[in-house]
Structure 1
Amino acid sequence: MPPAKPADAGPFTPLDFQLVLLRRMADHNADLVEDARHTLGASVAEMREANRRWQAMRHTPRSRGALSRYRSILGEPESVTPRRIGDLSCEAFLWPVPLWPDLRFEVLVATGGVAWNEWLVRAPGAPSPELRALDDLAPWSCTVDEAARAFAPARPLEGTAPTRWGLAFTAPDSSDAPDGGVRRDCVAEFTWGLLQRVAVTGRQP
Protein backbone atom coordinates (compact mmCIF):
# COMPACT_ATOMS: atom_id res chain seq x y z
CA MET A 1 0.00 0.00 0.00
CA PRO A 2 1.46 3.42 -0.91
CA PRO A 3 2.29 5.84 1.89
CA ALA A 4 -0.50 8.13 3.00
CA LYS A 5 -0.40 11.66 1.71
CA PRO A 6 -0.13 14.50 4.21
CA ALA A 7 -3.47 15.05 5.94
CA ASP A 8 -3.54 18.74 5.01
CA ALA A 9 -2.85 18.15 1.29
CA GLY A 10 -6.25 18.56 -0.31
CA PRO A 11 -9.69 17.46 0.78
CA PHE A 12 -10.49 15.35 3.81
CA THR A 13 -10.57 11.75 2.53
CA PRO A 14 -11.91 8.36 3.63
CA LEU A 15 -8.34 7.56 4.72
CA ASP A 16 -8.33 10.64 6.95
CA PHE A 17 -11.67 9.58 8.43
CA GLN A 18 -10.33 6.13 9.30
CA LEU A 19 -7.42 7.83 11.06
CA VAL A 20 -9.94 9.83 13.09
CA LEU A 21 -11.64 6.60 14.17
CA LEU A 22 -8.27 5.17 15.20
CA ARG A 23 -7.20 8.28 17.07
CA ARG A 24 -10.18 7.94 19.41
CA MET A 25 -9.36 4.26 20.02
CA ALA A 26 -5.67 4.80 20.80
CA ASP A 27 -6.31 5.55 24.49
CA HIS A 28 -7.49 1.97 25.07
CA ASN A 29 -5.71 -0.15 22.47
CA ALA A 30 -2.50 1.51 21.34
CA ASP A 31 -1.03 -1.70 19.87
CA LEU A 32 -4.08 -2.43 17.72
CA VAL A 33 -4.19 1.17 16.56
CA GLU A 34 -0.50 1.13 15.65
CA ASP A 35 -0.96 -2.02 13.56
CA ALA A 36 -3.99 -0.53 11.83
CA ARG A 37 -2.17 2.73 11.20
CA HIS A 38 0.67 0.83 9.51
CA THR A 39 -1.90 -1.01 7.39
CA LEU A 40 -3.16 2.36 6.20
CA GLY A 41 0.38 3.58 5.55
CA ALA A 42 -0.02 6.61 7.82
CA SER A 43 2.24 8.15 10.45
CA VAL A 44 1.37 9.21 13.98
CA ALA A 45 1.66 12.83 12.87
CA GLU A 46 -0.81 12.25 10.03
CA MET A 47 -3.27 10.62 12.42
CA ARG A 48 -3.03 13.58 14.78
CA GLU A 49 -3.42 16.06 11.95
CA ALA A 50 -6.46 14.23 10.58
CA ASN A 51 -8.05 14.40 14.01
CA ARG A 52 -7.24 18.11 14.32
CA ARG A 53 -8.86 18.85 10.97
CA TRP A 54 -11.88 16.74 11.89
CA GLN A 55 -12.43 18.66 15.11
CA ALA A 56 -12.05 21.94 13.25
CA MET A 57 -14.68 20.88 10.70
CA ARG A 58 -17.11 19.86 13.43
CA HIS A 59 -16.77 23.02 15.47
CA THR A 60 -16.52 25.72 12.83
CA PRO A 61 -19.43 28.20 13.07
CA ARG A 62 -20.42 27.37 9.49
CA SER A 63 -20.09 23.63 9.91
CA ARG A 64 -22.31 21.64 7.55
CA GLY A 65 -24.73 19.06 8.94
CA ALA A 66 -23.38 15.64 9.87
CA LEU A 67 -24.99 13.85 6.91
CA SER A 68 -23.64 16.39 4.41
CA ARG A 69 -20.21 16.16 6.02
CA TYR A 70 -20.12 12.37 5.71
CA ARG A 71 -21.32 12.49 2.11
CA SER A 72 -18.56 14.94 1.24
CA ILE A 73 -15.92 12.71 2.87
CA LEU A 74 -17.15 9.17 2.20
CA GLY A 75 -19.20 9.68 -0.96
CA GLU A 76 -22.65 8.30 -1.55
CA PRO A 77 -23.72 5.70 1.05
CA GLU A 78 -23.67 2.02 0.21
CA SER A 79 -27.29 1.78 1.33
CA VAL A 80 -30.08 3.82 2.89
CA THR A 81 -32.65 1.84 4.89
CA PRO A 82 -35.79 3.00 6.74
CA ARG A 83 -35.54 2.19 10.43
CA ARG A 84 -37.91 2.48 13.36
CA ILE A 85 -36.49 2.60 16.89
CA GLY A 86 -39.24 2.84 19.48
CA ASP A 87 -41.37 5.81 18.46
CA LEU A 88 -38.65 7.29 16.25
CA SER A 89 -38.71 6.88 12.49
CA CYS A 90 -35.35 7.38 10.82
CA GLU A 91 -33.11 6.29 7.98
CA ALA A 92 -29.86 4.34 8.37
CA PHE A 93 -27.08 5.45 6.03
CA LEU A 94 -24.23 2.91 5.69
CA TRP A 95 -20.72 3.38 4.35
CA PRO A 96 -17.97 0.75 3.99
CA VAL A 97 -14.84 1.11 6.12
CA PRO A 98 -11.88 -0.59 4.34
CA LEU A 99 -9.97 -1.06 7.59
CA TRP A 100 -12.80 -3.27 8.90
CA PRO A 101 -14.35 -5.02 5.86
CA ASP A 102 -17.06 -6.71 7.98
CA LEU A 103 -18.22 -3.41 9.49
CA ARG A 104 -20.04 -0.37 8.18
CA PHE A 105 -20.16 3.19 9.44
CA GLU A 106 -23.81 3.95 10.22
CA VAL A 107 -25.43 7.35 10.55
CA LEU A 108 -29.03 7.37 11.80
CA VAL A 109 -30.92 10.38 10.47
CA ALA A 110 -34.30 11.39 11.85
CA THR A 111 -37.04 13.35 10.11
CA GLY A 112 -35.75 16.79 9.23
CA GLY A 113 -32.25 15.57 8.44
CA VAL A 114 -30.96 15.54 12.01
CA ALA A 115 -28.26 12.89 12.59
CA TRP A 116 -28.65 11.49 16.10
CA ASN A 117 -26.27 8.53 16.09
CA GLU A 118 -22.99 7.80 14.30
CA TRP A 119 -21.07 4.57 14.87
CA LEU A 120 -19.73 1.28 13.51
CA VAL A 121 -22.11 -1.65 13.01
CA ARG A 122 -21.82 -5.12 11.50
CA ALA A 123 -22.21 -5.12 7.71
CA PRO A 124 -25.48 -6.59 6.40
CA GLY A 125 -24.92 -10.27 5.69
CA ALA A 126 -21.62 -10.47 7.60
CA PRO A 127 -21.59 -13.09 10.37
CA SER A 128 -21.73 -11.78 13.91
CA PRO A 129 -19.23 -13.13 16.44
CA GLU A 130 -20.29 -15.80 18.92
CA LEU A 131 -20.43 -14.03 22.27
CA ARG A 132 -21.14 -16.38 25.15
CA ALA A 133 -18.71 -15.37 27.90
CA LEU A 134 -16.11 -12.82 28.96
CA ASP A 135 -13.30 -14.57 27.14
CA ASP A 136 -15.12 -13.93 23.86
CA LEU A 137 -14.99 -10.16 24.40
CA ALA A 138 -11.64 -9.25 22.88
CA PRO A 139 -10.99 -5.64 21.84
CA TRP A 140 -12.56 -4.80 18.46
CA SER A 141 -14.41 -8.14 18.45
CA CYS A 142 -17.98 -6.79 18.48
CA THR A 143 -20.23 -3.77 18.27
CA VAL A 144 -22.53 -2.24 20.87
CA ASP A 145 -25.69 -3.87 19.56
CA GLU A 146 -24.02 -7.31 19.29
CA ALA A 147 -22.87 -7.23 22.91
CA ALA A 148 -26.26 -5.94 24.08
CA ARG A 149 -28.06 -8.81 22.35
CA ALA A 150 -25.61 -11.47 23.52
CA PHE A 151 -25.75 -10.47 27.19
CA ALA A 152 -29.28 -9.21 27.54
CA PRO A 153 -30.55 -7.49 29.51
CA ALA A 154 -27.70 -5.00 29.12
CA ARG A 155 -27.98 -1.50 30.52
CA PRO A 156 -26.63 1.39 28.41
CA LEU A 157 -24.27 3.78 30.16
CA GLU A 158 -23.25 7.31 29.31
CA GLY A 159 -19.83 7.43 27.68
CA THR A 160 -16.91 9.58 28.74
CA ALA A 161 -16.86 11.38 25.37
CA PRO A 162 -19.32 11.95 22.49
CA THR A 163 -17.89 9.01 20.51
CA ARG A 164 -17.92 6.58 23.45
CA TRP A 165 -20.62 4.30 24.83
CA GLY A 166 -20.87 1.89 27.74
CA LEU A 167 -22.86 -1.25 28.56
CA ALA A 168 -23.39 -2.86 31.96
CA PHE A 169 -24.29 -6.56 31.94
CA THR A 170 -23.65 -9.93 33.56
CA ALA A 171 -21.65 -12.63 31.77
CA PRO A 172 -20.04 -15.97 32.64
CA ASP A 173 -16.26 -16.23 32.86
CA SER A 174 -15.62 -18.76 30.15
CA SER A 175 -17.56 -20.50 27.42
CA ASP A 176 -15.37 -23.60 28.00
CA ALA A 177 -16.10 -23.95 31.73
CA PRO A 178 -19.03 -26.07 32.99
CA ASP A 179 -22.13 -23.90 33.02
CA GLY A 180 -19.96 -21.00 31.85
CA GLY A 181 -18.11 -20.67 35.15
CA VAL A 182 -18.65 -17.83 37.60
CA ARG A 183 -20.97 -15.05 36.46
CA ARG A 184 -19.52 -11.56 36.65
CA ASP A 185 -20.97 -8.06 36.62
CA CYS A 186 -19.18 -6.16 33.87
CA VAL A 187 -18.91 -2.80 32.16
CA ALA A 188 -17.89 -2.75 28.51
CA GLU A 189 -16.55 0.40 26.85
CA PHE A 190 -16.99 1.16 23.16
CA THR A 191 -15.50 3.83 20.89
CA TRP A 192 -17.37 4.68 17.69
CA GLY A 193 -19.51 1.61 18.50
CA LEU A 194 -16.60 -0.87 18.55
CA LEU A 195 -15.62 -2.74 21.74
CA GLN A 196 -12.44 -1.42 23.39
CA ARG A 197 -12.28 -3.07 26.82
CA VAL A 198 -14.31 -4.85 29.51
CA ALA A 199 -13.95 -4.28 33.24
CA VAL A 200 -15.28 -6.73 35.86
CA THR A 201 -17.12 -4.84 38.58
CA GLY A 202 -18.48 -7.66 40.73
CA ARG A 203 -19.40 -11.31 41.12
CA GLN A 204 -22.86 -12.79 41.07
CA PRO A 205 -23.82 -14.91 44.13
Structure 2
Amino acid sequence: MVEEVMPLVLIRKDGTIADILKTNEKGFGKSIERGEIWHVFPETGRLLPLHEGGVFFLSLQRKKKWFEAVVADSYTAIDEKLGGDTQQEQKERTAPSDVQEGRTSGIIGELESLIAERKKSMPEGSYTTHLFSKGNEKIRKKMGEEAVELLLARKREDMIYEASDLLYHLLVLLADEGIAFSDLEKELARRHAPAEA
Protein backbone atom coordinates (compact mmCIF):
# COMPACT_ATOMS: atom_id res chain seq x y z
CA MET A 1 0.00 0.00 0.00
CA VAL A 2 1.41 3.41 -1.02
CA GLU A 3 1.56 5.91 1.85
CA GLU A 4 -0.27 9.19 1.37
CA VAL A 5 2.11 12.06 0.65
CA MET A 6 1.15 15.31 2.35
CA PRO A 7 2.65 18.81 2.49
CA LEU A 8 5.43 19.44 4.99
CA VAL A 9 5.47 23.15 5.87
CA LEU A 10 8.73 24.50 7.28
CA ILE A 11 8.15 27.57 9.42
CA ARG A 12 10.78 29.79 10.96
CA LYS A 13 10.55 30.78 14.64
CA ASP A 14 9.49 34.26 13.53
CA GLY A 15 6.39 32.72 11.89
CA THR A 16 7.44 33.09 8.24
CA ILE A 17 7.21 30.12 5.88
CA ALA A 18 10.70 28.91 4.95
CA ASP A 19 9.73 26.13 2.53
CA ILE A 20 6.96 23.71 1.58
CA LEU A 21 7.99 20.12 0.92
CA LYS A 22 6.19 16.77 0.82
CA THR A 23 6.51 13.81 3.17
CA ASN A 24 4.54 10.81 4.44
CA GLU A 25 4.04 8.99 7.76
CA LYS A 26 7.28 7.06 7.27
CA GLY A 27 9.12 10.33 6.64
CA PHE A 28 7.50 11.88 9.73
CA GLY A 29 8.61 8.92 11.85
CA LYS A 30 12.12 8.96 10.42
CA SER A 31 12.37 12.71 11.04
CA ILE A 32 11.43 12.24 14.72
CA GLU A 33 13.81 9.28 15.06
CA ARG A 34 16.79 10.99 13.40
CA GLY A 35 16.10 14.54 14.58
CA GLU A 36 16.25 16.01 11.09
CA ILE A 37 13.85 16.69 8.22
CA TRP A 38 13.15 13.78 5.86
CA HIS A 39 11.01 14.43 2.80
CA VAL A 40 9.83 12.79 -0.41
CA PHE A 41 12.24 13.93 -3.12
CA PRO A 42 10.06 15.22 -5.99
CA GLU A 43 12.13 13.89 -8.91
CA THR A 44 12.45 10.30 -7.65
CA GLY A 45 9.68 9.87 -5.07
CA ARG A 46 12.32 8.56 -2.64
CA LEU A 47 12.39 9.44 1.04
CA LEU A 48 15.59 11.40 1.71
CA PRO A 49 17.07 13.77 4.31
CA LEU A 50 16.73 17.45 3.43
CA HIS A 51 20.13 18.80 2.38
CA GLU A 52 23.59 17.35 2.91
CA GLY A 53 24.40 17.43 6.61
CA GLY A 54 20.71 17.45 7.56
CA VAL A 55 18.27 20.16 8.58
CA PHE A 56 17.38 20.02 12.27
CA PHE A 57 13.98 21.14 13.48
CA LEU A 58 12.83 22.78 16.69
CA SER A 59 9.50 20.94 16.65
CA LEU A 60 7.63 18.67 14.27
CA GLN A 61 3.88 18.05 14.40
CA ARG A 62 1.27 16.14 12.46
CA LYS A 63 -1.70 18.33 11.53
CA LYS A 64 -4.95 17.10 9.96
CA LYS A 65 -3.86 17.35 6.31
CA TRP A 66 -0.18 18.35 6.54
CA PHE A 67 2.95 18.17 8.67
CA GLU A 68 4.50 21.27 10.22
CA ALA A 69 8.11 21.75 11.29
CA VAL A 70 9.58 24.77 13.02
CA VAL A 71 13.15 25.42 11.88
CA ALA A 72 15.79 27.96 12.91
CA ASP A 73 15.31 31.52 11.63
CA SER A 74 18.59 31.07 9.74
CA TYR A 75 17.08 28.36 7.48
CA THR A 76 17.53 29.71 3.94
CA ALA A 77 16.17 27.12 1.48
CA ILE A 78 14.05 29.62 -0.44
CA ASP A 79 15.55 32.90 0.76
CA GLU A 80 17.10 33.61 -2.64
CA LYS A 81 13.67 33.41 -4.29
CA LEU A 82 12.31 35.78 -1.65
CA GLY A 83 15.23 38.22 -1.77
CA GLY A 84 16.82 37.01 1.46
CA ASP A 85 20.41 37.10 2.66
CA THR A 86 23.31 37.01 0.23
CA GLN A 87 25.70 34.06 0.38
CA GLN A 88 28.28 36.30 2.09
CA GLU A 89 25.76 37.27 4.80
CA GLN A 90 24.92 33.60 5.32
CA LYS A 91 28.62 32.73 5.67
CA GLU A 92 29.12 35.52 8.20
CA ARG A 93 26.16 34.29 10.23
CA THR A 94 27.60 30.77 10.41
CA ALA A 95 31.26 31.73 10.77
CA PRO A 96 33.52 29.32 12.69
CA SER A 97 33.00 29.39 16.43
CA ASP A 98 35.19 31.29 18.86
CA VAL A 99 35.28 31.61 22.62
CA GLN A 100 33.82 34.83 23.99
CA GLU A 101 33.05 35.13 27.69
CA GLY A 102 32.60 31.36 28.00
CA ARG A 103 30.07 31.14 25.14
CA THR A 104 30.49 29.57 21.73
CA SER A 105 29.43 31.57 18.68
CA GLY A 106 28.51 30.46 15.15
CA ILE A 107 26.33 27.48 14.31
CA ILE A 108 27.73 25.39 17.19
CA GLY A 109 26.71 28.09 19.67
CA GLU A 110 23.28 28.41 18.06
CA LEU A 111 22.73 24.65 18.22
CA GLU A 112 24.05 24.48 21.79
CA SER A 113 21.61 27.22 22.87
CA LEU A 114 18.74 25.45 21.11
CA ILE A 115 19.56 22.14 22.84
CA ALA A 116 19.72 23.89 26.24
CA GLU A 117 16.32 25.49 25.57
CA ARG A 118 14.88 22.10 24.55
CA LYS A 119 16.22 20.52 27.76
CA LYS A 120 14.48 23.22 29.78
CA SER A 121 11.12 23.35 27.97
CA MET A 122 10.92 19.74 26.66
CA PRO A 123 8.51 20.60 23.78
CA GLU A 124 6.47 17.77 22.29
CA GLY A 125 7.55 16.55 18.85
CA SER A 126 11.20 17.53 19.31
CA TYR A 127 13.89 14.88 18.72
CA THR A 128 16.05 16.57 21.36
CA THR A 129 13.18 16.24 23.86
CA HIS A 130 12.92 12.57 22.89
CA LEU A 131 16.62 12.03 23.71
CA PHE A 132 16.48 13.87 27.04
CA SER A 133 13.32 12.01 28.06
CA LYS A 134 15.02 8.65 27.39
CA GLY A 135 17.91 9.54 29.70
CA ASN A 136 21.69 9.66 29.74
CA GLU A 137 22.27 6.03 28.79
CA LYS A 138 20.11 6.39 25.64
CA ILE A 139 22.05 9.53 24.67
CA ARG A 140 25.37 7.70 25.17
CA LYS A 141 24.09 4.73 23.13
CA LYS A 142 23.12 7.09 20.27
CA MET A 143 26.60 8.66 20.48
CA GLY A 144 28.11 5.22 20.05
CA GLU A 145 25.85 4.40 17.10
CA GLU A 146 26.71 7.69 15.38
CA ALA A 147 30.45 7.13 15.98
CA VAL A 148 30.23 3.70 14.35
CA GLU A 149 28.29 5.14 11.38
CA LEU A 150 31.01 7.76 10.91
CA LEU A 151 33.74 5.10 11.04
CA LEU A 152 31.89 3.05 8.40
CA ALA A 153 31.34 6.03 6.06
CA ARG A 154 33.67 6.06 3.07
CA LYS A 155 32.42 8.81 0.73
CA ARG A 156 33.15 12.44 1.61
CA GLU A 157 29.49 13.48 1.68
CA ASP A 158 28.63 10.49 3.90
CA MET A 159 31.44 11.42 6.30
CA ILE A 160 30.17 15.02 6.50
CA TYR A 161 26.63 13.77 7.15
CA GLU A 162 27.65 11.26 9.83
CA ALA A 163 30.12 13.65 11.49
CA SER A 164 27.32 16.23 11.75
CA ASP A 165 25.09 13.60 13.41
CA LEU A 166 27.89 12.72 15.82
CA LEU A 167 28.54 16.37 16.69
CA TYR A 168 24.84 17.02 17.34
CA HIS A 169 24.58 14.01 19.67
CA LEU A 170 27.80 15.10 21.40
CA LEU A 171 26.21 18.49 22.11
CA VAL A 172 23.15 16.74 23.56
CA LEU A 173 25.37 14.57 25.79
CA LEU A 174 27.38 17.58 26.94
CA ALA A 175 24.17 19.47 27.76
CA ASP A 176 22.89 16.47 29.71
CA GLU A 177 26.13 16.42 31.70
CA GLY A 178 26.16 20.21 32.24
CA ILE A 179 29.29 20.73 30.14
CA ALA A 180 29.54 23.71 27.77
CA PHE A 181 31.15 23.34 24.33
CA SER A 182 33.35 26.31 25.27
CA ASP A 183 34.88 24.03 27.97
CA LEU A 184 36.10 21.77 25.13
CA GLU A 185 37.42 24.78 23.21
CA LYS A 186 39.31 25.96 26.29
CA GLU A 187 40.80 22.50 26.83
CA LEU A 188 41.89 22.30 23.18
CA ALA A 189 43.36 25.82 23.41
CA ARG A 190 45.25 24.77 26.57
CA ARG A 191 46.70 21.73 24.78
CA HIS A 192 47.65 23.82 21.77
CA ALA A 193 49.27 26.62 23.77
CA PRO A 194 53.08 26.74 23.54
CA ALA A 195 54.82 25.24 26.58
CA GLU A 196 56.26 27.80 28.95
CA ALA A 197 60.03 27.73 29.36
TM over 0.5: no
More helix by share: 2
When the two structures are superposed, what TM-score results if normalisation uses the length of structure 2? 0.25
When the two structures are superposed, what TM-score results if normalisation uses the length of structure 1? 0.24
